Structure 1
Amino acid sequence: MMEPTTVGLLGILLLFFLMIFRTPVAFAMLLSGFFGMWALEGLRTAGALILTESYSAVASETLIVVPMFVLLGNIASAAGFSRGLYDAAFAWVGHFRGGLASASVLGCAAFSAVSGSSVATAVTIGKVALPEMKRLGYADGLATGSVAAGGTLGFLIPPSTGFVLYAILTEQSIGRLFMAGILPGLLLMVLFMATVWLVALRDPAQAPAGPNVPISGRLRSLGQAGPLLAVMVLTIGGIYVGAFTPVEASGIGAALVILLALASRRLSWAGFADAVMDTLKTSAMLYMIVIGANVLNPFFAVTQIPALLGEGLQGSGLGPYGTLVVIILVYVVMGMFMDGLSMLVISIPIVFPVVTSLGFDPIWFGVIAVIVIEMGMITPPVGLNVFVVRGVAQDVPLTTVFRGVMPFLLAMILGLVLIILMPQIALLIPNTMFG
């Protein structure tokens, strides 16, 4: 019989082989974990693992957060509430040079607080913002880059699906992770807006100023965006003050948005059905990923690969922060070829024991991991958000979009360094709230 470590390495090779041939990541993990456990413990144990983990993985009530927040975002988009968020941001900052790009970032940040999805945020705001920026003569690179980068905030600002998966994989508090994402999300938003200002300062022709909206128009735009903003404040604020749990907040938020959409007669039955169907598809994908991860993780544990990796890194003499840099660099390389959720579910079971053994706060590392994964969403050659925005702006070459996101990628690196140097940026709110 082969050594467990050898079987583990073969299992990892099988995992990447399946993914290279476009097997969905959930089934790639499921197959690698099942056949790996079969090789080590026998068919009976492998079969029992799939049965028990498939049930226990999705039986947890904490997973209700995913479909409820996804439904909230889909209903808000179908009812046109997302347009109100962008219009409000445009009314307040659009008259500055580069203001439309800054409004796109603000709109992305606001919509992130109801969608929890990077791709949904980029698509929703991109459909509204990109035609406006094109009409006013914005450079294609800045226009698409601001939307692609702003969309990544959907993976960080709560309710983030990335944090939900991280919490499930590491048995951490979803509430603490949601709260930990608020200040880093706002920090990246400010850095993105500063990037737009610097690009406009360097080359004013790339970012002309928009029309100046009178104060009455600005207040009216806030009123139109008010209902959705109120839902955002209620759900996230309710978690913060302890009025309800993240699971309860997700249900309350989804119900309120549906009621608002119906009361304002902005949602047709066809639009509602489409939103529900999109929610089912997204939720099924995420649930399958959770099941796959719960089959793969016990296999990794039996092979002792995470423990051996931890011992190797600790014995390398790099120190805690040197080891952290190595982990981040590995994430950066993975981000060039894999999507964010795949990176998260494959890597966390391996690197999390290493991180905790080095004495790093698991909530703080969750924020670091999510930000690095966000960076992967706009880096070549995969850059999922870049391809999503390219799909909205089909007349813009892909190379132009990648060039446009580069300044924003530098801003993300700066934000990451600041959070590493000052962990309280991520930990202040959860530590204040939970003690």
Structure 2
Amino acid sequence: MSDLVIGLGGLAMMFALMVFRMPVGMAMLAAGYFGTVLISGARSANALLVTETFSAASNYSLTVIPLFILMGNIASVAGFSSRLYEAAFAWVGFLRGGLASASIIGCAAFAAVSGSSVATAVTIGKVALPEMKRFRYSDALATGAIAAGGTLGFLIPPSTGFVLYAILTEESIGQLFMAGILPGLLLTALFMAAVALVTLKDPEAGPRGEWVSISMRMRALMRALPLVTVIIVSIGGIYLGVFTPVEAAGIGAGLVILMAIGMRKLDWRMLQQAVSDTVGTTAMLYLIVIGASVLNPFLALTHVPAMLGEAMTSAGLGPYGVLLLIIIAYLVLGMFMDGLAMLVVTIPIFFPIITGLGFDPIWFGVVAVIVIEMGMITPPVGLNVFVVKSVAQDVPMATIFRGVIPFWVAMAVCLLAVIVFPQIALTIPSAMFR
């Protein structure tokens, strides 16, 4: 049996294990380990498993993940996340569709703390969906806005997607974080434009909220100021070069904990819950990284990435034609796979092709993350749709999927803009690291 056949069989086994609900990290680990046994023997496979596991688990850059997750969890249990939504509600809630727009702004702001699309959708959804129900918003618009807004957690820094991309490609986490800022703001604006178009077509879908006085708006903004300050300090500190992403995560988490204690918003039970959730999420992400670290050398031995690269580049489609094929592959995979799983499985295959075609690796990181975001709200899997369904249990899945369609189109527009105008993603990293 040739190495190429073993490689293709290993990938098939990995996808089959995922279909049978094996955790993504374990599926990649099993495929990489047993595939290496077939090619190089058990001794080499055992050495690979030990060295790659230790290397991945002891990677200093990865400590940014638990620290930012802890920061988001503390902000959530302490009630700081609801303050972000309340501030956005006070400023735009009186507009037609204003509650949906406020939800998107709240998601964008919380994304700059949590780094997780699932956490963002759940946290803001629990606060915003009851309010939109009270004002008789259509179920499609209300749930669609939360499902789409939650995906901003994968793009706006700190993003676990960017951290994993950086680890897999050995690119700078700081540059990737900075590259996500302008596309994240653009996508937020496009989501709000989608809300405006939906309510323009059907005013009953998003009635106006209550008018709020300027003094009450300022009071709501001041209540959200502590968490906004943490966002500015952590992200701004990275941009100014005051500290590294890992240091920014530590400072951000420390500031949120101190604020929660100082404002008496954090008790021992809440702290235990936040730490427990952080440990669980971190363990899952570390397992994915370890699985990818074992799978990637196996794929290199089988030459599957090289073969696929040669096939795509020799097809005569040109650089952007190949890029289009990669985007289509992501969209198809996004219908069935989780976003992080897609990232760790495909980047070792697609990254050499992209760099070989002369595309900027930081720019491609943003493109890949946006396409993966689209997969988070694409049927039949649509992870964020299922997350919102858990919060809005009385809303049918078909209604939620119908509600995300305008936002999916907004994502496609954002993706096209980033491809046509790469400086949307590269301006801040270029200014930061010139």
Q: TM-score range by the shorter chain?
A: over 0.9
Q: Does 1:223 align with 2:222?
A: yes
Aligned to 1:372: 371
Q: Does 1:353 align with 2:352?
A: yes
**Paired letter, 1:190:** A
Aligned-pair CA distance for 1:20: 1.0
In 2, the alpha carbon distance for the partners of 1:217 and 1:237 equals 28
In 1, the alpha carbon distance for the partners of 2:206 and 2:307 equals 52
In 2, the alpha carbon distance for the partners of 1:419 and 1:26 equals 31
Q: Does 1:317 align with 2:316?
A: yes
In 2, the alpha carbon distance for the partners of 1:52 and 1:176 equals 28
Aligned to 2:415: 416
Aligned to 1:193: 192
In 2, the alpha carbon distance for the partners of 1:41 and 1:228 equals 52
Q: Does 1:130 align with 2:126?
A: no
Which consecutive aligned stretches of 4+ in structure 1 deviate over 6 angstroms post-superposition? none
In 1, the alpha carbon distance for the partners of 2:128 and 2:18 equals 34
1:267-416 matches, cutoff 5 A:
267-416=266-415
RMSD of aligned C-alpha atoms?
0.5
In 2, the alpha carbon distance for the partners of 1:107 and 1:248 equals 25
In 1, the alpha carbon distance for the partners of 2:141 and 2:389 equals 13
In 2, the alpha carbon distance for the partners of 1:314 and 1:404 equals 38
In 1, the alpha carbon distance for the partners of 2:57 and 2:157 equals 21
In 2, the alpha carbon distance for the partners of 1:225 and 1:38 equals 54
Residues 260-297 of structure 1: CA distance to partner in whole angstroms, max 9, x if unpaired?
00000011210110000000000000111100000000
In 1, the alpha carbon distance for the partners of 2:103 and 2:19 equals 34
| Partner SS for 2:374 | helix
Aligned to 2:244: 245
Aligned to 1:5: 4
Aligned to 1:121: 120
| Partner SS for 1:97 | coil
**Paired letter, 2:3:** P
Residues 220-275 of structure 1: CA distance to partner in whole angstroms, max 9, x if unpaired?
00110000000000000000000000000000000000000000001121011000
In 1, the alpha carbon distance for the partners of 2:319 and 2:289 equals 29
In 1, the alpha carbon distance for the partners of 2:34 and 2:283 equals 23
| Partner SS for 1:23 | coil
In 2, the alpha carbon distance for the partners of 1:234 and 1:395 equals 40
In 2, the alpha carbon distance for the partners of 1:6 and 1:380 equals 31
Aligned-pair CA distance for 1:335: 0.2
Q: Does 1:159 align with 2:158?
A: yes
In 2, the alpha carbon distance for the partners of 1:158 and 1:409 equals 21
Q: Does 1:84 align with 2:80?
A: no
In 2, the alpha carbon distance for the partners of 1:84 and 1:19 equals 38
Aligned-pair CA distance for 1:428: 0.3
Aligned-pair CA distance for 1:60: 1.1
In 2, the alpha carbon distance for the partners of 1:175 and 1:271 equals 31
Residues 66-125 of structure 1: CA distance to partner in whole angstroms, max 9, x if unpaired?
000000000000000001000000000000010000000000000000000000000000
Aligned to 1:19: 18
In 2, the alpha carbon distance for the partners of 1:71 and 1:144 equals 26
In 1, the alpha carbon distance for the partners of 2:239 and 2:432 equals 7
| Partner SS for 1:57 | helix
In 1, the alpha carbon distance for the partners of 2:393 and 2:59 equals 41
In 1, the alpha carbon distance for the partners of 2:413 and 2:143 equals 21
Aligned to 2:168: 169
Aligned-pair CA distance for 1:17: 1.2
Question: Structure 2 stretches of 5 or more lacking a match?
Answer: none
Aligned to 1:62: 61
Aligned-pair CA distance for 1:171: 0.4
Q: Does 1:257 align with 2:256?
A: yes
Aligned to 2:234: 235
In 2, the alpha carbon distance for the partners of 1:58 and 1:369 equals 25
In 2, the alpha carbon distance for the partners of 1:212 and 1:26 equals 49
Aligned-pair CA distance for 1:218: 0.4
**Paired letter, 1:340:** G
In 1, the alpha carbon distance for the partners of 2:15 and 2:244 equals 37
**Paired letter, 1:294:** S
In 2, the alpha carbon distance for the partners of 1:40 and 1:135 equals 61
| Partner SS for 1:379 | coil
**Paired letter, 1:283:** T
Question: Structure 1 stretches of 5 or more lacking a match?
Answer: none
Number of aligned positions between the proteins:
434
**Paired letter, 2:430:** N
**Paired letter, 1:308:** M
Aligned to 1:28: 27
In 1, the alpha carbon distance for the partners of 2:139 and 2:8 equals 44
In 2, the alpha carbon distance for the partners of 1:34 and 1:407 equals 43
TM-score by length of 1: 0.99
